[in-house]
Amino acid sequence: MARQDLPMLVAHAAAAGLYTNIITSGVLLTQAAMATLTEAGIDHIQLSFQDVRPADADQLGGYRGGHEKKIEAARRIREAGLPLTANFVIHRRNIERVEEMITLGEALGAERIEIAHAQYYGWALLNRNALLPSRDQLEYANTVVAAARERLKGRIAIDYVVPDYYAARPKACMGGWGNRFINISPSGKALPCHAAETLPGFTFPSVRENGLAAIWSESDAFTRFRGTDWMPEPCRACDRREIDWGGCRCQALAIAGDAGLTDPACHRSPDHHLMAEAITAAANAALDLVPRRLHQN
């Protein structure tokens, strides 16, 4: 939403017959911005929420008055006749309010609600001890989401993303590295996933200088972890190697220290014990956060 050319991008994509979706905090989705995006042809907007309590939401989001602006943005989206997805990020500090989050999504008129556990990269990894939920908290959230899905069946779809730290198998991150997706950053860099720039030793090509076909087929950035040839054991001999594609490269780096290793979320990984150690460390840690910079209205 900070991009002044966003309406132009939406209009161009719409003219090309593409489905356009914006995932936004909503704090910059003013009435004027909403009108401009609607005129440009936007199809869908996803609005992110950090909590249902305004003070806690603003602390986590780093924007004073941000929660109120999100509520206003949701109203504008629905008034414009657009489908709304409400994305709620849950963790140790707010997981007890997951039922209230679903209720808020209903009240806002969302057609889809996403309940997603925090992904531990960047700021969240720095604050993992304060954010990683306990198993009891996770089981509580599982129960609430299952009940809500049954109650809202046919009216509101609920997506649920659980934390990898409690998994036995890794997710197929982005459908496999360089297998399905290409992400263009605001600077024009082509990325296999939105977090790929956290990995050292890569030079990501720019669409300002290279065609998409060449980037996809020839660049090291997209071919290095594509397929199965790069895989170490136990991935190389695993019968799920073309299902989960070795898991997440960014998570392998963040937890095991090497993007070329098996994702530690996998129970077969020699580094899987690091997940259990992180859970134990979080259980014994204080809830203090390294704060984001809090902005004024």
Question: Which domains are assigned to the chain?
Answer: 5-161 (3.20.20.70), 173-284 (no CATH)
Distance CA 147, CA 57 (A): 25
Res. 295: pLDDT tops 70: no
Residue 14: count of CB within 10 angstroms of its CB: 15
| Predicted confidence band of residue 29 (pLDDT cuts 50, 70, 90) | very high
> Which range has the worst mean pLDDT, 139-148, 260-269, 285-294?
285-294
What is the tens place of the pLDDT at every residue in 30-56?
999 999 999 999 999 999 999 999 998
Which candidate, 46, 71, 45, places its Cα nearest to that of 58?
71
Q: How high is the pLDDT of residue 297?
A: 47
The pLDDT, as a whole number, for residue 61 is: 81
3-state secondary structure (DSSP) of residue 2:
coil
Please provide the average confidence, as pLDDT, over all residues in the chain. 93
pLDDT at 123 over 90: no
DSSP string, 44-67: EEEEEES-SSHHHHHHHHTBTTHH
pLDDT in tens, 158-169: 999 888 999 889
Say yes or no to pLDDT of 149 above 50.
Answer: yes
Query: Omega of the bond prior to 54 within 30 degrees of 0, cis?
Result: no
pLDDT above 80 (res 209):
yes
Q: How far apart are CA 33 and CA 196, in angstroms?
A: 30
Output the pLDDT for position 294: 58
* Local confidence band at 99 (pLDDT 50, 70, 90 cut-offs): very high
* pLDDT tens digits along 234-262: 999 999 999 999 999 999 999 999 999 99
